[in-house]
């Protein structure tokens, strides 16, 4: 009696797709035989599923994704004043799969096969299947389907050489780290000619594989222990070196006369990005009223009349509840084609936060469409989105 896992999930498999596991057994031809698939997370049994052998090849096929996916939680948890504001493994779920046999209702006590897997919170891009091994289509950075391609690198598909940040604002970006590797951060400030003005390097103590960095001027100055970046600094660059050397993030300061808003959102790769909507942003609101009606003739001082003792006419339609729905239209600056493609991930993101006075308000994106842009045809373009701030407010009750 032996079970073999003949097809295992890929490394860093996708939580938001099917995750199939295939098993064979020397006992699969036995009457009343079933494969028993147990999933454990943190040592706790999460589920037990019994599967009959496939009649064609006598193998057991099991999709672990719906069960494992239920264990992912929200992990936008920035804190602290230095550059590393979160370091954990919450962007995925590590689980143990144990496979047993059941024959005529009797289940083996010890697993006949077991393995540990990790599923990550990302999703595949369009046409992923075209970019598989052996395809005659070259793999571009936009279609990096394996999360391992981003190990020891920034977990984003934005144009890292074209980032504008308002001085004093937070700027979040995520980093995927190889476990057990010491990492060093490198900072250099630049003048308008691209020359290096000042440099600093130091250890970055990451405890988890998933990390959120705040690369604002304030956070970098705190990390460096001195004021290397001021409001007059033209631009600065930051990168990390450890098991490998990451791409370089280049940030340029800009001035803005309007009230701008930062939106922090979950991107396709499972990292959090920041985008600043720097043009004229407008708030709006709609109101839902519930009311009741009554006669305008009311008893006042023993007399039926249509007004009260203060000469106010009696109200015949009374709103007892007024619910506010607050919306905002966000308008960003002009962007290039790479960043416009990347910003489609904001529209489709299930987790977005509007930063207001150092607080994070959940943002419900109501824009539902996006269309690709080309510099050669469209010349100049920016992103405009509509969103609802899902915070319930009521006027005074009556």
Query: How does pLDDT run across 252-292, given as a tens digit for each residue?
Result: 988 877 789 999 999 999 999 999 999 989 999 999 999 99
Residue 390 has phi, psi (to 5 degrees) of -80, 65
For domain 3-120, which architecture applies?
Sandwich (2.60)
Overall average pLDDT of the 149-173 stretch: 93
pLDDT per residue over 328-341, tens digit each?
A: 999 999 999 999 99
82 close to 200: Cβ distance less than 8 angstroms: no
Calculate what percentage of the chain has a pLDDT beyond 70: 94
Q: What is the pTM of this model?
A: 0.89
| Residue range 204-231, pLDDT digits in tens | 999 999 999 999 999 999 999 999 999 9
Q: Which residues pair with 117 in a beta bridge?
A: 95
**What is the pLDDT averaged over residues 154-177?**
94
CA distance 31 to 53: 11
Alpha-carbon span 297 to 235, nearest angstrom:
72
What residue ranges do the domains of the chain occupy?
3-120, 152-281+326-394
- Average pLDDT, rounded, for the chain: 91
Q: What is the pLDDT of residues 342-372, one digit of tens each?
A: 999 999 999 999 999 999 999 999 999 999 8
What gap in Å lies between CA 35 and CA 49, rounded to an integer? Answer: 8
What confidence score (pLDDT) does residue 127 get? Answer: 64
């Amino acid at each position: 009696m032996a079970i073999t896992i003949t097809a295992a999930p890929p490394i860093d498999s996708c939580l938001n797709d099917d995750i199939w596991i295939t098993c064979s057994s020397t006992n699969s031809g036995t009457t009343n035989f079933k494969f028993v698939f147990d999933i454990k997370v943190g040592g706790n049994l999460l589920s037990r599923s019994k599967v009959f052998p496939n009649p064609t090849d006598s193998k057991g096929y099991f999709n672990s994704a719906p069960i494992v996916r239920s264990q992912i939680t929200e992990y936008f948890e920035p804190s602290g004043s230095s550059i590393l504001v979160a370091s954990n493994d919450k962007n995925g779920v590590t689980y143990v799969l144990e496979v047993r046999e059941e024959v005529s209702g009797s289940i083996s006590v010890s697993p006949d096969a077991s393995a540990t897997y990790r599923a990550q919170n990302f999703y595949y891009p369009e046409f992923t299947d075209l970019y598989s091994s052996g395809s005659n289509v070259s793999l571009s950075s936009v279609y990096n389907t394996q999360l391992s391609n981003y190990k020891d690198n920034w977990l984003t598909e934005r144009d890292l050489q074209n980032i504008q940040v308002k001085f004093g604002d937070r700027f979040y970006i995520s980093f995927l780290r190889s476990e057990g590797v010491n990492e060093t951060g490198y900072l250099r400030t630049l003048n308008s000619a691209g020359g290096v003005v000042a440099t600093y390097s130091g250890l970055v103590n990451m405890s988890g594989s998933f990390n959120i960095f705040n690369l604002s001027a304030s956070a970098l100055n705190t990390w460096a222990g001195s004021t290397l970046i001021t409001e007059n600094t033209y631009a600065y660059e930051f990168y990390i070196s450890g098991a490998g050397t990451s791409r370089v993030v280049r940030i340029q300061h800009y001035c803005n006369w309007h009230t701008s808003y930062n939106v922090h959102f979950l991107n396709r790769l499972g990292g959090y990005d920041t985008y600043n909507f720097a043009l004229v942003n407008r708030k709006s609101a709609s109101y839902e009223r519930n009311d009741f009606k009554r006669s305008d003739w009311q008893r006042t001082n023993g007399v039926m009349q249509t007004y009260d003792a203060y000469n106010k006419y009696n109200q015949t339609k009374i709103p007892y509840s007024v619910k506010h729905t607050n919306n905002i239209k966000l308008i960003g600056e002009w962007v290039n084609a790479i960043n416009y493609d990347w910003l489609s991930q904001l529209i489709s993101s299930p987790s977005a936060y509007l930063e207001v006075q150092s607080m994070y308000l959940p943002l419900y994106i109501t824009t539902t469409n996006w269309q690709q842009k080309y510099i050669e045809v469209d010349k100049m373009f920016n992103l405009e989105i509509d969103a609802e701030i899902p915070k319930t407010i009521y006027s005074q009750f009556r």
